[in-house]
Chain A
Amino acid sequence: DVKVTQSSRYLVKRTGEKVFLECVQDMDHENMFWYRQDPGLGLRLIYFSYDVKMKEKGDIPEGYSVSREKKERFSLILESASTNQTSMYLCASITGGAAEKLFFGSGTQLSVL
């Protein structure tokens, strides 16, 4: 069975901390994504990557960065966490080509106090 694994289900951090959210997929997918989910706002794309060491900004990249050193791992970094970054973060992956199905991780609920 395909798997996208996010390292933490719940995280509580303090304002100003550097936060790492980790995502690993075991499907050899080229493309990986980080979304943020907020009530009434749906799923908003933060960053995506279509290859190792490649990254592209999504719709709301401010305050975030990403790292993709290996094909299976895509990390989201909050350089200095702020309270408005309290949210559910979802990682997803998909194979290259005219693929159809986006596979999501189970999400990380981040609270910044």
Chain B
Amino acid sequence: GENVEQHPSTLSVQEGDSAVIKCTYSDSASNYFPWYKQELGKRPQLIIDIRSNVGEKKDQRIAVTLNKTAKHFSLHITETQPEDSAVYFCAATLNTGFQKLVFGTGTRLLVSP
């Protein structure tokens, strides 16, 4: 089955800096890779995702890159703001029509003013 590793477990940056979170997956058949953000005391919410037929996807200050050969994908946040502080989870799945997401262990991002 799929296994997803996520690093780092915690990340502290200054406001305005960039943050990068990395994940690796084990199942080469996985083809869908979402990222979820969980603010303190709230439910996880999807912030961006990428499919295996795409190498990079951007949405304003957030981008995700995928390297299928190396089986890793990364979340990039530019110009970080205090409201970006949260726990971020990567996930992977074989999107065959029934989704069983396997999540990474999470990264706690702290953006200091």
Contacts and interface: CB of A to CB of B under 8 A. Distances in A.
Interface of A: 31, 35, 40-45, 48, 50, 58-59, 90, 94, 96-102, 104-107
Given A42-B89, A48-B100, A100 B46 contact: yes
Contacts of A48: 100
A41 B105 contact: yes
Interface of B: 1, 6, 9, 32, 34, 36, 42-46, 49, 89, 95, 97-106
A31 B101 CA distance: 12
A100 B49 CA distance: 8
B98 A50 contact: yes
Contact of B44 (A90, A96, A97): A90
Given A90-B44, A105-B43, A98 B100 contact: no
A96 B103 contact: no
